[in-house]
């Protein structure tokens, strides 16, 4: 499977956050738009040599990051 389609998933109480580092170009729009300030730059570089994004325990799985990502590098799934 191609690297851009391998996601890194983090489970939270209200849902899941999945980042596809191969699709992330490091524009930072998701970090700027996150209402809970749960996103930050990772120490790991993505495929394009830019820092990937990582979510922390403040993530409320609202999906704003997914909507703001121009490269579809983030998927947020809420639990029902």
What class does CATH assign to 3-78? alpha beta
**Tokens linked to 34:** 């996150």
DSSP-derived letter for residue 67 is H
**What is the value of pTM for the model shown?**
0.85
Distance (Å, rounded) from C-alpha 33 to C-alpha 5?
A: 24
Per-residue pLDDT tens over the stretch 18-30: 999 888 888 999 9
Radius of gyration for the alpha carbons in the chain, expressed in angstroms and rounded: 12
Q: Which residue, 1, 36, 4, is CA-closest to 18? A: 4
Per-residue pLDDT tens over the stretch 20-78: 988 888 899 999 999 999 999 988 777 777 777 888 889 999 999 999 999 999 999 99
């Amino acid at each position: 499977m191609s690297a851009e389609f391998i996601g890194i998933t983090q489970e939270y109480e209200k849902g899941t956050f999945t980042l596809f580092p191969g699709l992330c170009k490091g524009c930072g729009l998701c970090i700027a738009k996150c209402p809970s300030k749960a996103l930050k730059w990772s120490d790991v570089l993505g495929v394009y040599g830019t820092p990937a994004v990582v979510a922390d325990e403040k993530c409320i799985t609202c999906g704003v990051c997914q909507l703001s990502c121009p490269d579809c590098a983030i998927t947020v799934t809420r639990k029902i």
